[in-house]
Amino acid sequence: MATTQKSLIDSVPKGLFIGGVWRDATGGATLAVEDPSSGSTLTHVADATVADGKAALDAAVGAQAEWAATPPRDRGEILRAAFELITERAEDFATLMTLEMGKTLAESRGEVTYGAEFFRWFSEEAVRIHGRWSTAPNGATRLLTMKKPVGPTLMITPWNFPLAMGTRKIGPAIAAGCTMVVKPASQTPLTMLALAELLRECGLPAGVLNVITTRHTGDVMEPLIRDPRLRKLTFTGSTGIGRKLVEQSAEQLLRVSMELGGNAPFIVFEDADLDRAVDGAMLAKMRNIGEACTAANRFFVHESVAEEFAQKFAARMSGLTIGKGTRKGVDVGPLIDAKARDGVTELVEDAKAKGGTVVTGGGQVKGRGYFFEPTVITGVPMNARMMSEEIFGPVAPITTFGTEAEAIAKANSTEFGLASYVFTNDLSRVIRVSEALEYGMIGINQGIISNPAAPFGGVKASGFGREGGFEGIDEYLETTYVGIAP
């Protein structure tokens, strides 16, 4: 590890951030943070207990009233200052993410820009929280509505976007006046710990943000979810875990927002610009090494252009350079851990056994680290596991369709409904297909659709609630109606 990288890791707090103070876990336990490019240990961070989780919630509850009463402009200015400081330290954040998550520095730099933008966006939204005033239809009452912060919030964030998945939740909560307890993924805690320290530097009051790291997520989180003082739960992760959390949250009737799994279709119609479609496919598939819930998971290509598309796509995929994300010239980093790599391998072997043909890639990379070859597979049948399960890796299964109706039916034949992608030059088709697709987000002739100014979220088993856009702050606000007799 380069000296600069070691010093960067050494500079990150390794404890629990509770009530504005960094401290060890009760009992002093720690958990290892692994470098997925080598399998070696980067460092250790505190491993929180149930008592630590309760202490974090105690701090959030204790700070809630004063934070809610803080002027919106003051809350917004803290976010703006944090945006500027993240931007100033962009290279450090990018390097930290690459070391603990594996993505290339170019990918990490893009995430820093994207993640920081949520703080700038919601710094501007903080001062635009408003209600309304109206007269009842019979004229006898004046109707006043006002917005109030939901209250203490538990945030559980995933490992694949260590910064952006935090800022996307923390930003609107700060803007709305909510305190919070954040539990980052145990695989990638360093970025969140660095972010917590940055917010402390920016003047965020003690107790507003509390961060606990633990390998015992279920044991530590469930008591908080069942605690009547908690008023909101927000989670980004798998649908299976999301279902369990929703079930637990029902006891307290918590406000819940869930951004869960995806199975994004990538549809290429016969009139599409194929070069543009291939460019979009590279972005939609290979962003974040394919480890994204918005990643293109199933490629449906019109039978008249399928062979040409597959050849061009495979040529691009085979030309990618695999290696440690911090190295110059690397395009594809490792998957997050051995379990992820082995899971991708199983899906590829299943597709091959059911008739799929590997055009390029198809296997693990020998040596240290959790690398998998960028892969294109054609002729993948609909009963292959990777057509119904998230791949979460650099693998693109291609199947064909003949009619628009068939493409829509295949795209919708999943329990998930997060992101989808359509490539066509027919405006009327854009309208028809967009209205027919059962997805919360649709990209037309583009491979990346996430934007801090747009509402991010899905339907069906991909969850509910929205993050980003004007809608994002509403998830952290309650509406109070006041009837006034004139």
Instruction: Report the alpha-carbon distance of residue 151 to residue 482 in Å, rounded.
Output: 20
Q: In the structure encoding, which two tokens stand for residue 284, read together?
A: 């939609």
SS3 content of the chain, % helix, strand, coil (to 5): 40, 20, 35
User: Token pair 């391998």 is at which residue?
Assistant: 345
Residue 367: which of 322, 332, 330 has the closest Cα? 322
Residues that are catalytic:
259, 293
Instruction: Report the alpha-carbon distance of residue 400 to residue 318 in Å, rounded.
Output: 22
Instruction: Report the alpha-carbon distance of residue 16 to residue 37 in Å, rounded.
Output: 26
Which residues have C-beta within 8 Å of that of residue 366, sequence separation ≥ 6? none
3-class DSSP state of 296 = strand
Q: What DSSP line would sit under 231-242, residue for residue?
A: -EEEEES-HHHH
- Spatial strand order of the sheet with 153-156 comes to 21-23, 16-18, 209-211, 180-183, 153-156, 232-236, 255-259, 463-464
Q: In the structure encoding, which two tokens stand for residue 411, read together?
A: 């795209």
* Burial of residue 131 (number of CB atoms within 10 Å: 0-12, 13-18, 19+): middle
Q: What DSSP line would sit under 151-172, residue for residue?
A: --EEEE--SSSTTHHHHHHHHH
Which residues have C-beta within 8 Å of that of residue 247, sequence separation ≥ 6? none
- Give, for 17, the enclosing helix (H) or strand (E): strand 16-18
